[in-house]
């Protein structure tokens, strides 16, 4: 017996995303499109914005459109040092073209340092603006791992995101 999951009767979908990058010298630290003062940045092909990457994967996953590696491969020189906010705008347009609307985004950045709460509103604003949604639709949280794991040891930063999208 078949059940009507994944058919036109379903109008809402949830997606999750996760990203991690290690710290590296001589790189800017960009999170949510905000340039964060810190002695190291994150290593990656693009600007290595783990927050924006996790959100993109959540949105793409919810819409059944794969992941950021499929859309913005690190083997493509066009994305070398690219702005993740620019890529997020492209993901937003993919959703719009497929008649998906973002209901909400909830994300968490996991790092021991630096302290990020002073930058929360700017991150929310950047993400909302890139997607053409209200900043109140975006929630960003910060946590440490109490000195445990690679983020607790100060080796890098991780982010996770969940989103809800609906047709129409």
**How many angstroms separate the CA atoms of 129 and 68, rounded?**
19
99 Cβ contact partners less than 8 Å away, ≥ 6 residues apart: 167, 168
Residue 51, H or E segment: helix 50-62
Enter the tokens of residue 44. 């990656």
**Across 47-68, average pLDDT:** 97
Q: What is the pLDDT of residue 104?
A: 98
Please state whether beta strands 41-42 and 29-31 pair in parallel, antiparallel, or not at all (unpaired): unpaired
Between 66 and 82, name the one with better pLDDT.
Answer: 66
154 φ/ψ sector (left φ>0, alpha ψ -120 to 50, else beta): left
**Across 38-65, average pLDDT:** 96
Backbone angles phi, psi at 166, to 5 degrees: -140, 155
What does pTM read for this prediction? Answer: 0.92
Q: What is the pLDDT of residue 167?
A: 95
**Across 9-22, average pLDDT:** 91
**How many angstroms separate the CA atoms of 63 and 40, rounded?**
34
**Across 131-148, average pLDDT:** 96
Question: Could you give all domains of the chain from N- to C-terminal order, each with its CATH number?
Answer: 12-167 (3.30.1330.50)
Q: What's the pLDDT band for 168 if we cut at 50, 70, 90? A: confident
**Across 82-86, average pLDDT:** 92
Composition of the chain by helix, strand, coil, percent to 5: 35, 30, 35
């Amino acid at each position: 017996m078949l059940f009507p999951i994944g058919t036109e009767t379903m109008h809402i979908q949830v997606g999750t995303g996760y990203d991690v990058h290690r710290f590296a010298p001589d790189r800017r630290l960009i999170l949510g499109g905000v340039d964060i003062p810190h002695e190291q940045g994150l290593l990656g092909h693009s600007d290595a914005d783990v927050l924006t990457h996790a959100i993109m994967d959540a949105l793409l996953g919810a819409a059944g459109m794969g992941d950021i590696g499929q859309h913005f491969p690190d083997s493509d020189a066009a994305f070398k040092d690219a702005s993740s906010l620019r890529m997020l705008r492209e993901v937003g347009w993919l959703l719009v073209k497929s008649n998906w609307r973002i209901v909400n985004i909830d994300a968490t950045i996991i790092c021991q340092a630096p302290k990020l709460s002073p930058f929360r509103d700017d991150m929310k604003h950047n993400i909302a603006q890139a997607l053409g949604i209200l900043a109140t639709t975006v929630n960003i949280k910060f946590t440490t791992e109490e000195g445990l794991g690679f983020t607790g040891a100060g080796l890098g930063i991780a982010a996770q995101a969940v989103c809800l999208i609906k047709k129409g």
